[in-house]
Amino acid sequence: MNHLQEAHDSPEGPDRDHRRPPGVDDKTVEALGALSKALETTERARGSLYAFHQLTGGADLELDRAVRLLREAGHPEWAEKVRAEILGRNVIPGHWTFQIIEAYNATYYRPFQQLETSAVEALAQGRDHLYEAEMKEERRTPGHPDHTARPPAPRT
């Protein structure tokens, strides 16, 4: 029995949801960890799409002010040029940013998320973050109050 198995059997070790199920080998844990890390990176990319969406939308709304100010400043031709050519313009042919997000979610993000969940269910009995949990256990200093395996029990 290795030190991780001993820690897993201890009440001081990780909770059941963060212990490797019997029969799950090191390569499987590593592979699921890599899959999880890739999904986390995708989550960050998706967040960047939402930032792009909000920034672009904010810029488009600010164009209303620019058009008004150009008119007030006596430049109606420039106000009309901004309104007609840029305000409400597609960011790529046929798409506003919300449509890019919808396509990303439907075509890439949701299928990736579903596949990752299915892999964890099928290969690790639904126990997520095993790679990280084992890394935490390897790096903990037993007995140190800031190196506990689990969060404190809720107070009743």
Q: What is the pLDDT of residues 133-144, one digit of tens each?
A: 999 999 999 889
Q: What residues form DSSP beta bridges with 92?
A: 95
Predicted confidence (pLDDT) at residue 5 exceeds the cutoff of 70: no
**Measured distance CA(4)–CA(9) in Å, rounded:** 9
CB 91 within 8 A of CB 56: yes
Alpha carbons within 13 A on the beta-carbon side of 141: 3
> Full-prediction pTM beyond 0.85?
no
Cα–Cα distance between 111 and 145 in angstroms, integer? 41
pLDDT of residue 52: 98
Tens of pLDDT, residues 54-79: 999 999 999 999 999 999 999 999 99
pLDDT digits (tens, 9 = 90+) for 104-150: 999 999 999 999 999 999 999 999 999 999 999 999 998 898 998 88
Tokens linked to 141: 């200093």
pLDDT for res 53: 98
Query: Does position 23 have pLDDT exceeding 90, yes or no?
Result: yes
CA distance 118 to 135: 23
For the cut 50, the answer to whether the pLDDT of residue 6 exceeds it is: no
